[in-house]
Amino acid sequence: MKNMDRREYLKRMAIAAGGVGLARMNPFQAKGLAENIDFDRASLLALPEACPTSWPCTTVLPDPNSAVRLIFAGMVAFTYKMVHGQPEGRVVFHRGDDHHRLKIIVYQGSGANCVRIYENDDIPKDEVVIMDIRVNDKASDAKFFMNTTVPFKREDLQGDDKDFRWLLDLEGPDLANRKLHRKQDKFRTKLKVRNGVFYTYRHTGSTFKLVDSSGNPIKNLGYVPKVMAANIPLRVDECLSFKIRKNEVSLPHPICGRQKYEIFFLNEDEERCLDRHDKRCLQGDFTMVYAAIEEPLPFDLKLDQDCDHSPAPDFCGPTTDLCLPLPTPDMRLNDEAPCMGGGFGGGGGFP
């Protein structure tokens, strides 16, 4: 064991004592959550930061100069799992219809120097496929960015633009407020992300309301995500492992810390229109994420104000700092009806 000074020793003892106290109390009373949310309580003991939700969080903004950036667009769902006391990200992709088609693209470089080095749109839809991304020889430490230094009030359009909480948590207070029974019959393709920081890459400029099954408004939700991301820093002596079905993805050379890389996981609806003013484009795909749970939820999203009236109209436009700008000619990501799933804050992974 490394030698530590008295201040560090007392700090660690205080964290340990706090963890014991948390284990004895009912954490849901403090958070105002329903008692039947059964999230991974190990996360409370493993994290020194005061996370505002059950997600294992970090309050440190993801490093924009990270060697690897994962980009998620389309019908995708997120959760986490504590493995040997350490948090790992879990991402699943809807494969249960004829319109959403998963495409994986890897770029090396950034800006004007991007080179496409891998593309795969042949992941089977009718069987379970596990993918895995990790930093070689490094313990799992995936986190979710939540800026606690500024208020997060989605109904008032307040919060850090990169905050992960713009993603709607199906198990959080805004929706079910309990842990849901998950299934994989349509979300068959899964990705484990062992390291890095998840965050909202781009939220909408349009705002939305939560409505019931009859379309009656329940509450204001403000912005919702259009593109999610995870940044994975690498030291110059570290490399990334990217496996599909336990087989390393064949690339021209390993993904290591001396270069920058972007890995896109695009699961958009290929039949959605490109004209943002076409009325056919105003129906979003949010309820498709319910295919990941046993019981349907009586909620949907309804456009409140489109981006022309939003305080952040620039968010309607394409992202320009990626190797593959979004939306592209083959992406159907209109701002008024974004194709994005949700989160499962109860943790535990997917079946």
What pLDDT was estimated at residue 269?
Answer: 73
173's tokens: 């207070």
Residue 62 counted as domain residue: yes
Residue 267 counted as domain residue: yes
Residue 127 counted as domain residue: yes
- Residues comprising the chain, all counted: 351
Location of structure tokens 């030698």: 3
Peptide bond into 327 cis (omega under 30): yes
Bridge-based pairing of strands 68-74 and 261-267 is: parallel
User: Which DSSP string do the residues of 297-338 spell out, in sequence order?
Assistant: -SEEEEEEE-GGGSS-GGGGS---SSSS-SS-TT----TTS-
Residue 136 counted as domain residue: yes
Question: Can you tell me whether residue 278 is helix, strand or coil?
Answer: coil
Which of 25 and 273 is assigned the larger pLDDT?
273
- Phi then psi dihedrals of residue 27, to 5 deg: -65, -20
Segments in the chain forming alpha helices (H)? 6-24, 27-31, 42-46
User: Which DSSP string do the residues of 148-160 spell out, in sequence order?
Assistant: TTS--BGGGTBS-
* Residue 44 CB neighbour total at 10 angstroms: 17
Number of domains within the chain: 1
* Chain segment 24-52, per-residue pLDDT in tens: 333 333 333 333 433 443 433 444 457 99
Range of the domain at 157: 53-316
Q: What is the pTM of this model?
A: 0.83
Residue 8 counted as domain residue: no
Segments in 133-223 forming alpha helices (H)? none
Residue 287 counted as domain residue: yes
What does the alpha-carbon distance between residue 179 and residue 172 come to, in Å, rounded to a whole number? 8
Buried b (16+ CB within 10 A) or exposed e, 271-297: ebeeebeeeebeebbbbbbbbbbeeee
What pLDDT was estimated at residue 97?
Answer: 87
Average pLDDT, the chain: 83
Residue 230 counted as domain residue: yes
The identity of residue 22, as a single letter, is L
* Chain segment 178-233, per-residue pLDDT in tens: 999 999 999 999 999 999 999 999 999 989 999 999 999 999 999 999 999 999 99
Residue 343 counted as domain residue: no
